[in-house]
Amino acid sequence: MDYSKICEVYAALESTTKGLEKTDILANFLGEICDEPELIYLLQGRLFADYDNREFGISHQLVIKAIGRAAGISESEVVEEFKELGELGLVAENVLGKKKKQTALFSKKLSVEKVMENLRKLTTIEGKGTVDQKIGYIVELLHSGTPEEAKFVVRTVLSDLKIGVGSGILRDAIVVHCFSPKDLEDKKVCAIAVQEAYDKATDFAEVFSRACDDSLEKIKLKPGKPVKVMLFPKAKGVEDAFRIIGRPAAFEYKYDGFRIMINKEKNGKVKIFTRRLEEVTKQFPEIAEYVEEHVSGDSFILDAEAVGFDSKTKKYTDFQAISQRIRRKYDIAKLRDELPIELAVFDIIFYNGDSLIGKPFIERRKLIEQIVREEEWKIVLAKQIITSDEVEVEKFYEAALADNQEGLMGKSLDAPYKPGARIGHAVKLKPEDKDFDLVITGAEWGTGKRAGWLTSFDVACRDDGELLALGKVSTGLKEKPEEGLSFKEMTDMLEKLVVEVDGRKISVKPEVVVTVQYQNIQKSPTYSSGFALRFPRITRLREDRGVSDIATLGEIEGESGE
Ligand code: AMP
């Protein structure tokens, strides 16, 4: 297929803000790629399925170099244009447009296959001396396409197509194209089926081709391939928890660590994924050891929390204390000794060839009781009581807090596991719960003694795959790194993610998730969510979380009392 065809679709999507129009544009296009379902990734601005974490590893500086080289102008000229236009896609379109006019450059048509081939190469080469090679692959594409095609190549490389297509719209387009729903109700039912299939597969190409054949039910869990974890809404208190999950119910410690899905494949290999579907097997060699020694079964997928503890005092530590283990790729043995973790297993969704997601929670728990041999400070089951009694829950709640944990999780005994969904089968109970996990979408450079650092951050929640602004946060970070998460650390992280520059402000790829505490929530016409947080403060960096884990508009609304 010609790349120009997909660029026409991008342009049409960019020209409307209306969700229904976007859905129709996409649904029409899906008709053209039935035989090549992988092209759906390009509509997401990706090259692989969502569970596949291969990255381009391309900063905007590198793209500046590539544009300069392709257009035969200096880097500083590109930077000048960047300052003026604010976005590198437009810069590429502009400067290459001028060049192509001058030289009447003729090139044969750029194909989608060529774009995918070159961009996929970007994800495989790494190490010293590869920068030039990477630039070469981009330049080749910029040379062979029209200026508009160059714009979308650049935007794809920077993972920001600016076409306003989130996973919700793509899902709806699959529904419209594959099922032609009769009415709104039918559309909703189909959307749930497609969403459930997606949460198991985390791969729109697979979901699309299955939906085309009307065989969504054939999408199966497979150990080794990460799935979206089940999420939990908040309860206002013990009584509210019982109201949502029924009586009797299970209550468990809500451990203050990070979520991991432990996969044992049939060949015996253990793979570990965070809830943002990132593989962290290498960073946590002890997890595979504990699982091999303590869990029986040929293949399985366990849902668990990795919790830090102090090896001397045998006291649990908080998430922040062990968070550096998630990213660290070197000194792993040293870090393992310094920052040990215990696994608290709380669910199982696949065992010896069978999916368990439709089974009641109580049965899944019984199974983990049978197959996990507990050993303190290595692997345990989440501490649990089953009760109908509020006083008993309150006591257990206090015990969890005294044990340095965050609170409790309440769980319906007969509920299935719903990958990716945040529904009321289980609820969290945390004291002083005025915080949300949000993603940073932009930032502003500081002044005075904070010049050189980004010091104000735009944060957003999500709504059916779209991001909605909730305001700016400029407190919580530290000037001195030894005091905690610092402005410098955040600046270093965000600078790698810049997609747009507007004077002192930048927009970034939405990848950095932070916990933001606030005093209350106000209605606000200023921000696209319609709400603003009052006195917001960043309290944590959540390396283990991604955009799909952040708070939803529904939750913000719920807490606002509107
Ligand atoms: P929150 O991070 O506030 O959204 O709370 C949900 C998180 O609590 C889950 O994603 C898990 O990482 C964590 N968690 C800790 N203990 C449990 C447990 N017993 N059951 C389920 N989730 C737990």
The string of pLDDT tens digits covering residues 510-554 is 999 999 999 889 999 999 999 999 889 999 999 889 888 899 999
What pLDDT is stored for residue 320 in this prediction?
81
What pLDDT band is residue 105 in, cutting at 50, 70 and 90?
Answer: low
Per-residue pLDDT tens for 152-170? 999 999 988 999 898 899 9
Query: Given ligand 1 and candidates 259, 418, 422, which is best to mutate, with the most ligand atoms within 8 Å of its CB?
Result: 259
Q: Name the residue at shortest CA distance from atom 11 of ligand 1.
A: 259
What pLDDT is stored for residue 260 in this prediction?
95
pLDDT score of 70 more than 90: yes
Average pLDDT, stretch 316-338? Answer: 87
Per-residue pLDDT tens for 171-186? 999 999 999 999 989 9
Q: Name the residue at shortest CA distance from atom 18 of ligand 1.
A: 254
How far apart CA 414 and CA 362 sit, in angstroms, is 6
Average pLDDT, stretch 238-262? Answer: 95
What residues contact 279, with CB distance under 8 A and at least 6 apart? 53, 226, 271, 272, 273
Give me ligand 1 centre to Cα 23, in Å: 34
Per-residue pLDDT tens for 262-320? 999 999 999 999 988 889 999 999 999 999 999 999 999 999 999 999 999 999 988 88
What pLDDT band is residue 55 in, cutting at 50, 70 and 90?
Answer: confident
Residue boundaries of the structural domains of the chain? 3-157, 238-429, 435-560
Token pair, residue 1, equals 């297929």
pLDDT score of 128 more than 90: no
Helix axes 112-124, 130-144, angle to 10 degrees: 170
| 229 CA closest ligand 1 atom index | 10
Query: Given ligand 1 and candidates 418, 428, 436, which is best to mutate, with the most ligand atoms within 8 Å of its CB?
Result: 428
Q: Which architecture, in CATH terms, is 238-429?
A: 2-Layer Sandwich (3.30)
What pLDDT is stored for residue 57 in this prediction?
81
Candidates 46, 76, 48, 288; CA nearest to 158 is: 46
pLDDT score of 103 more than 70: no
Looking at the DSSP bridge assignments, the partners of residue 534 are 520
What pLDDT is stored for residue 251 in this prediction?
98
What pLDDT is stored for residue 464 in this prediction?
80
Give me ligand 1 centre to Cα 267, in Å: 29
pLDDT score of 100 more than 80: no
Give me ligand 1 centre to Cα 303, in Å: 10
| 382 CA closest ligand 1 atom index | 19
396 lines ligand 1 (CB under 6 A): no
What pLDDT is stored for residue 111 in this prediction?
95
Query: Given ligand 1 and candidates 255, 342, 372, which is best to mutate, with the most ligand atoms within 8 Å of its CB?
Result: 255
343 lines ligand 1 (CB under 6 A): no
Element (H, E) at 329: none
Give me ligand 1 centre to Cα 276, in Å: 14
| 428 CA closest ligand 1 atom index | 5
Q: Which residue has the higher pLDDT, 355 or 128?
A: 355
Least confident of 22-36, 90-104, 332-346: 90-104
Give me ligand 1 centre to Cα 266, in Å: 27
361 lines ligand 1 (CB under 6 A): no
| 252 CA closest ligand 1 atom index | 19
256 lines ligand 1 (CB under 6 A): no
Average pLDDT, stretch 499-519? Answer: 92
How far apart CA 119 and CA 196 sit, in angstroms, is 30
Same fold, 3-157 and 238-429: no
| 258 CA closest ligand 1 atom index | 12
Query: Given ligand 1 and candidates 253, 254, 417, which is best to mutate, with the most ligand atoms within 8 Å of its CB?
Result: 254
Burial class, 58, CB count within 10 angstroms (exposed 0-12 / middle 13-18 / buried 19+): buried
Average pLDDT, stretch 59-80? Answer: 94
Q: Which architecture, in CATH terms, is 435-560?
A: Beta Barrel (2.40)
290 lines ligand 1 (CB under 6 A): no
Give me ligand 1 centre to Cα 61, in Å: 38
Q: Which residue has the higher pLDDT, 104 or 312?
A: 312
What pLDDT is stored for residue 51 in this prediction?
87
Could you say which of 254, 264, 271, 359 is catalytic? Answer: 254
What pLDDT is stored for residue 126 in this prediction?
77
Candidates 198, 200, 333, 351; CA nearest to 263 is: 351
Query: Given ligand 1 and candidates 229, 348, 383, 409, which is best to mutate, with the most ligand atoms within 8 Å of its CB?
Result: 409
Give me ligand 1 centre to Cα 255, in Å: 7
SS3 readout for 460-529: EEEECCEEEEEEEECCCCECCHHHCCEHHHHHHHHHCCEEEEECCEEEECCCCEEEEECCEEEECCCCCC
Number of H helices, E strands in the chain: 20, 19
How far apart CA 73 and CA 75 sit, in angstroms, is 7
Query: In this structure, are residues 380 and 224 in contact, taking their beta carbons and an 8 Å threshold?
Result: no
% the chain with pLDDT above 70: 98
Verify whether residue 65 is a known catalytic residue. Answer: no
Provide Rg for the chain, Cα atoms: 24
206 lines ligand 1 (CB under 6 A): no
172 lines ligand 1 (CB under 6 A): no
3-state secondary structure of 228: coil
Q: Which residue has the higher pLDDT, 128 or 526?
A: 526
Question: What CATH class has 3-157?
Answer: mainly alpha
Across the chain, mean pLDDT equals 92
Give me ligand 1 centre to Cα 169, in Å: 28
Give me ligand 1 centre to Cα 465, in Å: 22
What pLDDT is stored for residue 234 in this prediction?
86
305 lines ligand 1 (CB under 6 A): yes
pLDDT score of 110 more than 80: yes
How far apart CA 411 and CA 228 sit, in angstroms, is 18
| 384 CA closest ligand 1 atom index | 19
Give me ligand 1 centre to Cα 505, in Å: 35
